Every structure is written in C-alpha cells, then in structure tokens.
C-alpha cells in the first residue's frame, strides 16, 4: 500500500515538495495513479509515519491539496 497526496495544480505539489525537503521528510514525486486521476497528474508518495507532520505543513503553509489517499 502506498500513500499519495493529490494536488489541484503542479505548482502546489512543487511547493509542498520544497517544504518537505526543508523539513527532511522523505517523499517521492510520482504520476497520479489512474484510479486517483482527478487532479493535475502529479502526486507525492509519503510514508505513513510522516502523515501528521505533512498535514501540519500543508495547513500552516496553506498548500492546496485535493486530499490524502492510500491505495
């Protein structure tokens, strides 16, 4: 199972990727899986244990996300 963050735009995904890198949080930029293809096509894969930290970063920095999904 993998955890994905989906974005309304590519720019929002890049903003979050930059912040995650600054915080030392491991992530992978990936194409959005077909079953979740309601976004810009870019997603970020992250580890379960980082979800709370990532959600706080998203909230504090007002990053636009469509949602957090696990498939």
> Does the pTM of the predicted model rise above 0.85?
yes
Taking alpha carbons only, the member of 25, 24, 15 closest to residue 51 is 25
36's torsion region: left (phi>0), alpha (psi -120 to 50) or beta? Answer: alpha
Question: Residue 42's domain is classified under what CATH number?
Answer: 3.30.70
Domain carrying residue 22: 3-70
Number of structural domains in the chain? 1
- pLDDT score recorded for residue 69: 94
Q: Which tens digit of pLDDT belongs to each residue from 30-65? A: 998 888 876 668 999 999 999 999 999 999 999 999
């Amino acid at each position: 199972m993998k955890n994905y963050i989906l974005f309304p735009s590519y720019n929002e995904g890049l903003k979050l990727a930059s912040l995650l890198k600054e915080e030392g949080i491991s992530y992978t930029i990936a194409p959005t899986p077909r079953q979740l293809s309601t976004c810009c096509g870019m997603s970020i894969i992250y580890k379960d244990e980082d979800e709370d930290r990532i959600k706080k970063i998203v909230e504090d920095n007002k990053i636009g996300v469509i949602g957090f999904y696990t498939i």
